[in-house]
Structure 1
Amino acid sequence: MKVRWQDNGKWLMLLAATFLAGCAAAPPRNPENICAIFEQHKGWHKSANKAREKWGAPVHVTMAMMYQESSFRHDARPPMRYFLFIPYGRASDAYGYAQAKKATWADYQREAGSRWASRTNFDDALDFMGWYMHKTSTINGVSKWDAYGQYLNYHEGWGGYRRGSHQRKGWLLNTSRKVEARAQRYAGQYWQCKDSLNRGWFG
């Protein structure tokens, strides 16, 4: 039987998607400890350092924000919304490690020269966060070390933050405090292991 090229193309795309899914890194076994995270995923530390060197984004802040956004899952999405038990879509098109929206991701790709960047790639997602934090600092004057203010900007957008939209969202203020507290814990842990990581004791 003759197989059409289109059918072969579909099979190749399916195989490629399956292969990429299989290559995706599993979430850390111990996400509460940044040293354990980097010990398990050695390449992640290199990615975090790259974002720090390129954008000035502190390692403990980007990692705390990513934990909040996706729990380090490459395919994270906002939860499905329901009406009378009938699903009618998600709250937004946010996706991936950084829960980046399509429009903002496109801005990042254009401005950072990362045309082929993927929201499911950890290195790209962390670079995106560094880019966003750098712009937050430039546009709204929020220090890159201020995990609380940076997360509010990340969630509300630069315009929303300037308008004070976060002030009407108690749940968001609480979440931002959690991000801040996690960043502080990560900072303390990272201080204990960063020299060993940089010397390559973990690979």
Structure 2
Amino acid sequence: MAWKAINATLLLILAGCGRFPPDTYDNHICQVVQSHWGWAKPLRHVSEEYHISPGLVLSVIFHESSFRAQARPERKSVLGFVPWTVSSAYGYGQIKDETWAWYKSHRPGYFQSRTQFSDTVDFIGWYYQIFRRKNPLESFNDMQVARDFYFAYHEGLGGYQRKTYASQAWLINKAERVAKRASEYNQQLVNCL
């Protein structure tokens, strides 16, 4: 009887590996980071190298993939039944093929993958550095920088410059949520990074 209980417990642990109740992602981001071996170090490294807050990195990942390594956008269907891929976005950061190739041409390395947390974190930091270089927003507060960075992340650097986000109310709301979550995460991460 004891073996059945142990097996059932192990099965539940394995089935839920890496997933937490929604409240954990809101109020206990340290638990999420600490439960994944190898997440804290790249977050600290990227924060130091690119001067991006770890809370902003995690907020982008949360809003892009809900921390799912294999995330892809929903497929649309043509004629109601033929599956059609709309975007090549993939992985933790929902990074498109062409943007990933651009990153790899500037940051070459072996076995880089959009499904690897450390590679995605480095990509977000690298993209943030380019964004800040092209858009020096020194007079803005952290919330404004986070919001504007998400616009550039979602729409591309050129789209950000052209303000393609301005007519998309849903994207403006999402960028506000990204900035708010980044601030909340930064407050929580003081205790564990």
The answer on whether the counterparts of 2:29 and 2:185 sit within 8 Å (CA) in structure 1 is yes
Give aligned-pair identity as a percent: 33
The answer on whether the counterparts of 2:95 and 2:114 sit within 8 Å (CA) in structure 1 is yes
Aligned partner (choices 119, 126, 129) of residue 124 of structure 2:
129
**How much does 1:88 deviate?**
3.7
Deviates more, 1:35-44 or 1:78-87: 78-87
**Paired position in structure 1 for 2:8:** none
Aligned partner (choices 44, 47, 72) of residue 42 of structure 2:
47
Q: TM-score of the superposition, structure 2-length normalised?
A: 0.81
Size of the aligned set, in residue pairs, is 171
Output the CA distance in 2 between the equivalents of 1:66 and 1:92: 17
**Paired position in structure 2 for 1:167:** 166
Which aligned pairs between 1:34-113 and structure 2 lie closer than 5 A? 34-113=29-108
**Paired position in structure 2 for 1:156:** 155
The answer on whether the counterparts of 2:18 and 2:36 sit within 8 Å (CA) in structure 1 is no
The answer on whether the counterparts of 1:81 and 1:88 sit within 8 Å (CA) in structure 2 is yes
**How much does 1:36 deviate?**
1.2
The 3 A distance-change label for structure 1 pair 165 and 115 is farther
Output the CA distance in 2 between the equivalents of 1:50 and 1:87: 44
RMSD of Structure 2 on Structure 1 (CA) = 2.0
Output the CA distance in 2 between the equivalents of 1:87 and 1:40: 39
* Residue segments in structure 1 that go unaligned for 5+ positions in a row: 1-21, 198-203
Q: Stretches of 4+ moved more than 6 A in 1?
A: none
Q: TM-score of the superposition, structure 1-length normalised?
A: 0.77
Which has the bigger relative contact order, CA under 8 A and spacing at least 6?
2
**Paired position in structure 2 for 1:180:** 179
The amino acid across from 1:178 in the alignment is R
The 3 A distance-change label for structure 1 pair 96 and 85 is same
